[in-house]
Amino acid sequence: MKLKIRSDIYENLMMAFGTLRANKLRSSLTVVGVVIGVWTVMAIASIISGIDEAVKKAIESFGTRSIIISKYDPGIRVGRRSREERMRKDLTYEDAMALRALPSIETSVPFLDITNNFFGAKLNVSANGKTSTAVRLQGTLPDYERAGVMVIGEGRWFSQFENDTNQDVCTIGSSVAENFFPYQSPVGQTISIGGNDFRVIGVFEPREQLGGGGSGSNDQNNVIYIPYNVAHKLKPDASQVTILAIAQAGHMDEALDQVTDMLRVRRGVSFKEPNDFGISTAESIISQFRSITAGVAVAMVAISSVGLMVGGIGVMNIMLVSVTERTREIGTRKAIGARRKDILWQFLIEAATLTGTGGLVGLLLGWVTTLLIRLFVPSYVPLWAPVMGFAASVGIGLIFGLWPAWKAARLDPIEALRYE
Amino acid sequence: MSEALLEMESPTTEEANGVTEETSIVNGNGLDAEALERGDLLAHDGVPAALISMRDIWRTYEMGTEKLHALRGVSFDVQRGEYLAIIGPSGSGKSTLMNLIGCLDTPSQGRYWINSKLVSEMEDDELARIRNQEIGFVFQTFNLLARATALHNVELPLIYAGVSAADRHERAQRSLRAVELGDRMTHRPNELSGGQRQRVAIARALVNNPSILLADEPTGALDSKTSIEIMNLFEKLHSEGNTIIVVTHEHDIAARAHRVISIRDGNIESDERIK
């Protein structure tokens, strides 16, 4: 019995393909909606997954033990910051030093960003006759090395001693090295920052970043680190301190609690009030990003299901036409022994073949699109996208083909044979 | 009867029991007495032994409030191996009778047996099964699937009978060879002449080894020369033991049969053996 059903489906499939071939133009116009629906799912799914994967990698390169503390709340913000946020105190060097005392914290370093000052004037960076204002300038402490985010490729990090004695030394990102010292090793060269000459003592390995990185100030390899004290001296009015705390291995949760508690005490936040600083981890940033992509995915499903619905109605329409056109055929089939369910299956499978073929075309287009997208942003097709796309297209055929097929199955053979 | 029972599969044995029950009602109606009067043979329990048995068949159509009697109490038997023509002018009830014989329709009243199976009480899907196994239809306009090859057209009844692909192929080829179309198997209907198309249709009708070959105006769409060809083919099939019923309004076509039933106003006007 099982074998019989399978051969029925095979026969029906062959007949369905025959019908599609015979009505090429009509069939292709009918499934345009389904093709576009599946295509959209594929394309958007691959973009989302690609970006998601890239973000995950980029953020994980932050270090899974890293806790980033900033004055403002992390995350994507629309419009102006709230008054409360704008009124917050800056974090300080002393905060960073205090966190080092916590048992769950391995070390903690402050960053002083001197790229911008309050009035927007930027420090020029120049060497070898080139000048740029797009380089990010950060003062920090050599312990930053232990976060494992920036890895020295050539030369060395500056030392605590160099920080304490205000040495004008710097370590530079790979993009800085390429821009200013394209034909020579930068180590030992001199680079001018805000008119002061700095000796380059180390160059970082290129850091993996989102979407292959941006250019200019969006490029995370376009960065120069100088000793914290030197940065402070170079730009005494700079106050934007960010703190990176590195938790002891396996103590991330405790570390988060302890850091939060300590900072609340130090900043005088009363028991009832929320934190007046932002705290984030690689994990929290990723999950925040995920909630955005999930929203986009829901919107995508909604949009493409509208496309699929419209496509489905087209399929229903054409199947009704087909049933009417083939009334005599249905009559003949019934006369020679087709039961209702035989006719029902014939038309259901025909509708599903129509939309399934459309789905396959959509998958193919989506796959090609993914390859094209990959030239610009990272993208890959997650397995669920083609599986769901194909299942949805076949399902549309079955659902919207049901009524026409039922109509065909219910035809009276005598009437059907008499139909002109 | 016993042979017919042996051929039946397990589910139809239950039907056979049902038939037995029905028969007692037949006896109660005294219909079998009438049948005996007409000299019909009866198998055990009053189930007719003839291939086709129609007893007091009425077919009534409701047209609004009016009732239209297309058939008014028709009774007759057809034995295995007969070549019967049913003739009558349009509106005589001839087509209604053909639809009933072909199990495309069920009577409003009366009993109809094919091969000892009481088909007048059957549901849609059971009727489809009877059509598939007992009846081979030949239509006036051939009714072949335009996009399918001759071979595929002939295979169609076997698909609905659930015959395996290899078996189907072989039987369809044999059937096409029997109507002398062995060299046209892969042709589509539009590549065949009218007579060839009708022969494909006949091959399709025969492929399931039906009890009855039922032809509705089989030469109605053919020229006279081709008509003669087709009628010769019917004669040959009859001589090979097939039971053939031809429904027509043409007297010269009816004259080829061995028995002619003439229908007028929903009744049998005459029923004569001519050969």
Higher-scoring residue by pLDDT: A122, B218 = B218
Answer yes or no: are the C-beta atoms of B70 and B61 closer than 8 Å.
yes
Distances (CA, A) of A260 to A69, A95, A268, A270: 9, 11, 12, 13
Alpha-carbon B203 to chain mean position: 15
Do the Cβ atoms of A417 and B104 come within 8 Å? Answer: yes
110-169 in chain B: CB under 8 A from chain A: 124-125, 128-129, 131-133, 137, 139, 143, 145, 147-148, 156-157, 159-162, 164-165
pLDDT digits (tens, 9 = 90+) for A336-359: 999 999 999 999 999 999 999 999
Q: Closest to A338 (Cβ–Cβ): which among B99, B128, B165?
A: B128
On average, the pLDDT of chain B sits at 85
Do the Cβ atoms of B160 and A331 come within 8 Å? Answer: no
φ/ψ of B138, rounded to 5, equals -125, 125
Q: What pTM was estimated for this model as a whole?
A: 0.71
Q: Closest to B157 (Cβ–Cβ): which among A7, A331, A337?
A: A337
Do the Cβ atoms of B147 and A22 come within 8 Å? Answer: yes
Residue B13 has pLDDT above 70, yes or no: no
Q: Closest to A336 (Cβ–Cβ): which among B99, B125, B137?
A: B137
Closest by CA position to B94, among listed B273, B249, B255: B249
> Distance (Å, rounded) from C-alpha B105 to C-alpha B117?
15
Query: Given this model, what pLDDT does residue B189 score?
Result: 95
Q: B244: helix, coil or strand?
A: strand
Say how many C-beta atoms besides its own lie within 10 A of residue B82's C-beta.
Answer: 20
Q: Which of A109-113, A125-129, B15-19, B126-130 has the lowest mean pLDDT?
A: B15-19
Distance from CA of B265 to the nearest CA of A (A): 20
> Distance (Å, rounded) from C-alpha A113 to C-alpha A117?
9
Residue B134 has pLDDT above 60, yes or no: yes
Q: Which of B59, B131, B197 to mutate to test the interface with A (most CBs of A within 10 A)?
A: B131
Alpha helices in A23-152 (DSSP H): 24-30, 32-60, 83-86, 93-99
Half-sphere exposure of A55 (CA within 13 A, CB side): 18
φ/ψ of A384, rounded to 5, equals -65, -25
Q: Which of A244-253, A407-416, B245-254 has the lowest mean pLDDT?
A: A244-253
310-339 in chain A: CB under 8 A from chain B: 328-329, 331-339
Provide, rounded to the nearest whole percent, the portion of chain B with pLDDT above 70.
Answer: 83
Higher-scoring residue by pLDDT: A362, A305 = A362
Beta partners for residue B71, in sequence order: B59
Do the Cβ atoms of A337 and B129 come within 8 Å? Answer: yes
pLDDT digits (tens, 9 = 90+) for B241-259: 999 999 999 999 999 999 9
Do the Cβ atoms of A414 and B105 come within 8 Å? Answer: yes
Higher-scoring residue by pLDDT: B196, A420 = B196
Contacts of A137 (CB under 8 A, 6+ apart): A113, A114, A115, A123, A125, A193, A223, A224, A226, A231
The dihedral of CA A376, A377, A378, A384: what is its sign?
negative
- Interface check for B102 against chain A (CB to CB < 8 A): the answer is yes
Answer yes or no: are the C-beta atoms of B94 and B192 closer than 8 Å.
no
Question: Which helix (DSSP H) or strand (DSSP E) does residue A351 occupy?
Answer: helix A340-373
Across A256-280, average pLDDT = 89
- Interface check for B41 against chain A (CB to CB < 8 A): the answer is no
Closest by CA position to A187, among listed A166, A207, A204: A204
Query: Given this model, what pLDDT does residue A43 score?
Result: 84
Q: A244: helix, coil or strand?
A: strand
Q: Which of A24, A326, A336 to mutate to test the interface with B (most CBs of B within 10 A)?
A: A336
Across A32-47, average pLDDT = 86
Higher-scoring residue by pLDDT: B75, A133 = B75
Residue A53: is it exposed, middle or buried by C-beta count within 10 angstroms (0-12/13-18/19+)? Answer: middle
ipTM of the complex: 0.83
On average, the pLDDT of chain A sits at 85
> Distance (Å, rounded) from C-alpha A230 to C-alpha A395?
66
Which residues on chain A are in Cβ contact (under 8 Å) with B129? 337, 339
Contacts of B257 (CB under 8 A, 6+ apart): B83, B84, B85, B244, B246, B274, B275
> Distance (Å, rounded) from C-alpha A82 to C-alpha B48?
97
- Interface check for A11 against chain B (CB to CB < 8 A): the answer is yes
Do the Cβ atoms of A329 and B145 come within 8 Å? Answer: yes
* Token code pair at residue A237: 């009015």
